[in-house]
Structure 1
């Protein structure tokens, strides 16, 4: 499968989930309490006020809209028109300065040194060429701009993790009208993704370093994860906990 066909399949998969994506804990930001926690994380990392921020793989705009609400101007790009349609509606309803554009996260269609910050959440694991993506994000950042990557590992490949995820998803398929991930990627696409079960911190750090980022730091998002856990259904809590982190780096800083 070539890249165009693969990314078309990925876009169609997420568009099929767009209507109920935000209903799932850890996808949509569902409470003011969780929103406040995200704002605290971003405030500590961003280099100033009223920044121009790129949200790559923005989906329904969960992160970008929080940043827009903090006074920043946000451009979101995604391959899934279905997901962005939900995001556009939310931005309009909340009167927030976030635009949504069709674009490939690995090749964002912007000039060099356009943005003060680049952010993405739950994206790195689903990229066929993560090294290309990091190099592109470095290119579109201004000097001293910051990249923020939110990801984790939810399937370490162990037998125990496989069993627990299988039990949880099996129950979800029985009791939910729209269980998350029910559509899923084809076997061919899954085989082409180097981080299908999530991105270990050391792998993410290597991606940032190789792309030229410095001042790299990892923040454990345990407080956000615990906040989300309070809203999980009992069978969702069967899933392995895994890791959840934000890794950041800056352009032009060793």
Structure 2
């Protein structure tokens, strides 16, 4: 399956989820408390500056980008899914926040070198066919001393116990919810094209960053955000295993 077909199916899958994506805990920001937790997390890793130029790659409905726009930054979001961005544009308009959404491939952002102070993404690396290429291109569009921020985790550790728990939770979700998350999912061929389809362990994310040339790599554990989100999960959603969840940041060095 070639890259064009893989990305077309990925875009269509998210288009189908767009209308109810934000209703799922851990996707949409559903409380003021969670919003403030994300703001605090960003403040620990963003470079100095009151109005940074930020690129949100794989921005979806703008959950992260709109928080950053509210913090006073100039945010551009790109995504393959027009459906997801359509929801994001409505949210930005309703909140009067100046986040721009445009069609673009997260693995190859359509911008010149040294354009952005920050490149950020959430829950994206697992769904990229070429994460190493993506990191290299994010490095290029960052300004010297710019920061990349990756928010990710491990959704499937491959164990039998985890598989049983996820399957059990999914059965109840399909019975009790009109639109359970991941109802359609990716085809086997697309899954086979994704090296991190079960999520991205910290060590693997660090390897991508180090191989690209990022320095000063830091990791912020996001268990506190998971705990906050877990308060809003339905009983059958709590059957799912608790996954590692982190924010990793790295800096682009100034050329000697």
TM-score (normalised: structure 1): 0.99
What is the aligned partner in structure 2 of residue 117 from structure 1? 118
Q: Distance in 1 between matches of 2:68 and 2:129?
A: 27
Q: CA offset at residue 242 of structure 1? A: 1.4
Whether 2:239 is the aligned partner of 1:238: answer yes
SS at match of 1:74: strand
Q: Distance in 2 between matches of 1:119 and 1:49?
A: 17
CA distances 1:104-163 after superposition (whole Å, capped 9, x unpaired): 000000000000000000000000000000001000000000000000002100000100
SS at match of 1:125: helix
What is the aligned partner in structure 2 of residue 23 from structure 1? 23
SS at match of 1:45: coil
Q: CA offset at residue 253 of structure 1? A: 6.6
Q: Distance in 1 between matches of 2:15 and 2:50?
A: 33
Count of matched residue positions in the alignment of Structure 1 and Structure 2 = 254
What is the aligned partner in structure 1 of residue 32 from structure 2? 32
Runs of 4+ in 1 over 2 A off after TM superposition: none
Structure 2 gaps, min length 5: none
Q: Distance in 2 between matches of 1:140 and 1:249?
A: 14
Matches within 5 A, 1:186-201: 186-201=187-202
Q: Distance in 2 between matches of 1:146 and 1:157?
A: 32
Q: CA offset at residue 57 of structure 1? A: 0.1
Q: Distance in 2 between matches of 1:86 and 1:107?
A: 23
Whether 2:2 is the aligned partner of 1:2: answer yes
Contact 1:214 1:253 in 2 (8 A): no
What is the aligned partner in structure 1 of residue 128 from structure 2? 127
Matches within 5 A, 1:82-97: 82-97=83-98
Q: CA offset at residue 43 of structure 1? A: 1.0
Q: Distance in 2 between matches of 1:222 and 1:253?
A: 33
What is the aligned partner in structure 2 of residue 221 from structure 1? 222
What is the aligned partner in structure 2 of residue 106 from structure 1? 107
Q: Distance in 2 between matches of 1:137 and 1:208?
A: 10
Contact 1:145 1:251 in 2 (8 A): yes
CA distances 1:179-230 after superposition (whole Å, capped 9, x unpaired): 0000100000001100011000000000000111000011100111100000
TM-score (normalised: structure 2): 0.98
What is the aligned partner in structure 2 of residue 167 from structure 1? 168
Cα root mean square deviation, aligned: 0.9
Q: Distance in 2 between matches of 1:129 and 1:85?
A: 26
SS at match of 1:12: helix
